[in-house]
Amino acid sequence: MNAPLVVVGLGNPGSAYENHRHNAGSLALRELAKRWRFPSFTNKKSFELSVGHIGEHKVFLLRPLTFMNDSGRAVREFASFYKLSLGAFLIVHDDLDLAPSSVRLKKGGGSGGHNGLKSIDAVLGNGYWRLRIGIGHPGQKDLVIPYVLSAFSKEEREQLAFTFTAIAENFPLFACGELDHFMQQVQKALMHNPEPLCVYTNTKNA
């Protein structure tokens, strides 16, 4: 029997934040659930959970109900109950340092200043997988907070639709451990975007 996988989509809870740049991870998770027909999410105190299968793999989809800087509490409560290794976790999150709608996969490494990752690192360590979704940078440090806490533009939403679909449709490859193939197929899909995007495909530990 294949080991289960936990996919955590980071973001802030509530409809007011739903389409913000900081919620790119949560939005990607929603597309994954839709593509693979997962059941409705149920409330589990500090997180929402949906459990299903992608191929032969049992997959937990988890959305923290905590705010971003307390994401670790939701992940810790799930991990303590299900007793899964840290390597079973894939955290999907926004990344200021990547071009808009680009993707990078890696395991471990620093938080890059991301408050959600800082919170998870503090309670679990950093040996989990990360799927980083680029949102671009506003250009000045003092503009970062209002930038990530603002809604995607129409153009950004259209670009992200390609990204989320590419991730979801090729996710069975990730679940099977075919990491390079997964990223190659994501890249191939994104290059069919009418406005091609830059895709990063590093699967090495950082």
Q: Is 22 a residue of the active site?
A: yes
What's the rounded Cα separation, in Å, for the pair 195 and 21? Answer: 20
The separation between the first and the last C-alpha atoms of the chain, rounded to the nearest angstrom, is: 30
CB-side exposure of 46: number of CA atoms within 13 Å? 17
Phi and psi at 105, nearest 5°, equal -115, 135
Cα gap 37→103, rounded to integer Å: 23
Helix (H/G/I), strand (E/B), else coil: 31? helix
Give the closest residue to 176 by CA, choosing from 5, 28, 60, 50: 5
22, 57, 93, 114: the active-site residue: 22
Catalogue the active-site residues: 22
